[in-house]
Amino acid sequence: MKNIKNIPVKCFLFCLTLLMIGLVACEDEDADRISNSPQRLPDITTVSPASGPVRSTVTLTGANFSENPEDISVTFDGGDPAEVIASTETTITVEVPDFTTSGIVNLVVGTSFAIGGPTFTIELPEIESYSLSTAEPGTSVIITGTNFSEIPTDNVVSFNGELADVSASTSTSITTTVPTQALTGPITVTVAGNDPVTGSVFTVTRPEVTVASIDPTMGTPGIEVTIAGTGFSEILTNNTVSFQGREADSSIEGEVIAATTTSITVRVPVGAVTGTVSITVFGSASVAGPEFTVTSTTLLIPLTSDDDDVEEIMILQAGSDDAVGDMDLSSSDLEFGEMSSGQGLVKIGLRFNEVNIPQGADVQEASIQFKCDDTGSDPVQVIIFGENSANASPYEESNRELSGRPLTTANVIWDIPPWVNEGDRTDAQKTVDLSSIIQEIVNRDDWESGNSINIIIEPSGVSLSATSTSGGREAENYSSSRADDGAELSITFN
């Protein structure tokens, strides 16, 4: 009896299981049908308006859009995404980005749906007229046209390439100011970074340039002079002041260090000579001013160290314990064309420090003054060179150190007259003109004012055959205890 009673229950459970399996199978089929249903692609039917400037508002109309602006990406001609202002299932409102160019409107909804829409045409700004066609720098000018930006900083205006300030703007006008540096030429307007548009030529006029005076009217190169007049520029580089050059038809520009519309302060250039000063403003024709007289500067440069005058043995005296090329940095005197006992015939080096001559200065005269240490009347001849370097280094005691230095091409012969009195410091103890040697050194591109110059004096001519009985010339060397006795270099330049 128990087995017979359980049969209906088992049948019921079996049927219930089959029913549940069937329901699950139906759900899977429904899911398959749903997942295989066609996607709803967005569709743009119109773009309104179909043209406009950058930053204008455009509405896209169609179907299958999204009410969530974050799901939407709109681009014009493949440019940067536009800002989506609002959206529904059928409309999207966007702002045309800066730098946009004409082309197809592209729409992306979500992450996987994209469609190309109609074409949108960018309307470029157009320049129609100016409130003035001729004006001086600083004058306000209104540019009239279309498709400008109402935000002044979005409008970039230039006068013949020179950027101008924009003080106000609407969609049809721009108020700007003629730049200080402007020259005659067309006005160009660029709106929001798009392609520039060019208007007609604008004529820039300037006040007449006049020169009334120059103060002072004379001085050495390097001094500052002030020129008074009219029509100058407050921008230093707009003013060119030229001084007379060494050649008759040449000129040298001075450095303008201050300027207003009525005065210019300029530094007299190295190499300038006496002559007329001329002024050019903004590249216009030059205006002749007063004459400026260039005066010369004379430097007196004494030796300043015991190690700045040296002797190097050039020809050895018989029986000497020294060697050719030996250096003597502590000699008690300087011997010209004399076969000294214990050494022989020597060449002399003199190193002058802090030679404050500008690079390229015009050296007019130069000489070295000595003081007689011992008399002599036999013929003596020496040849004088300079060291061909921009800044002579201190002497060293290594063999042939003086001979190893490069020499200037320029050199001079000095036939030394008799020295008759010890202690004399006269023209007899002064060298011939050394200006060509100094000029070669200061003309070097790497010469700088304040550097050191080395003068090298060698026996030549008759002095090369000097003997122990020849009466040469002996000059005082430098000593800190009697500094005034040392050699002194004199240079006159402008």
Q: Which of 106-120, 178-192, 306-320 has the lowest mean pLDDT?
A: 106-120
Output the pLDDT for position 342: 67
- State the pLDDT confidence band at 11, using cuts at 50, 70 and 90: very low
306 token code pair: 């015991």
Output the pLDDT for position 339: 84
Of 305, 300, 455, 303, residue with least CA distance to 392: 455
Q: What is the mean pLDDT of residues 250-278?
A: 95
Task: Evaluate if residue 174 carries a pLDDT over 70.
Answer: yes
Task: Evaluate if residue 430 carries a pLDDT over 50.
Answer: yes
Q: What is the mean pLDDT of residues 60-84?
A: 93
Output the pLDDT for position 284: 76
426 token code pair: 């006269």
Output the pLDDT for position 3: 45
Task: Evaluate if residue 487 carries a pLDDT over 90.
Answer: yes
- Tens of pLDDT, residues 12-60: 444 455 455 444 444 444 444 444 545 678 889 999 999 998 889 999 9
The overall average pLDDT reported for the chain is: 89
Task: Evaluate if residue 340 carries a pLDDT over 90.
Answer: no
C-alpha dihedral, 308 to 314 to 315 to 316, nearest 10°: 60
Q: What is the mean pLDDT of residues 191-202?
A: 92
- Tens of pLDDT, residues 442-477: 999 999 999 999 999 999 998 888 777 777 899 999
Of 359, 364, 459, residue with least CA distance to 413: 459
The phi and psi torsions of 144 (rounded to 5 degrees) equal -105, 140
Output the pLDDT for position 1: 40
417 token code pair: 């007259």
Output the pLDDT for position 338: 87
- State the pLDDT confidence band at 112, using cuts at 50, 70 and 90: low
Of 168, 255, 266, residue with least CA distance to 211: 266
Write out the DSSP string of 95-142. Answer: EPPTT--SEEEEEEETTTEEEEEEEEEE---EEEEES-SEE-TT-EEE
- State the pLDDT confidence band at 319, using cuts at 50, 70 and 90: low
Q: Which of 2-16, 111-125, 297-311, 405-419 has the lowest mean pLDDT?
A: 2-16
Output the pLDDT for position 421: 96
Beta-bridge partners for 197: 189
Q: Is 0.85 topped by the overall pTM? A: no
Dist CA 257 CA 278 (whole Å)? 16
Q: What percent of the chain has pLDDT over 70?
A: 90
Output the pLDDT for position 318: 67
Output the pLDDT for position 484: 87
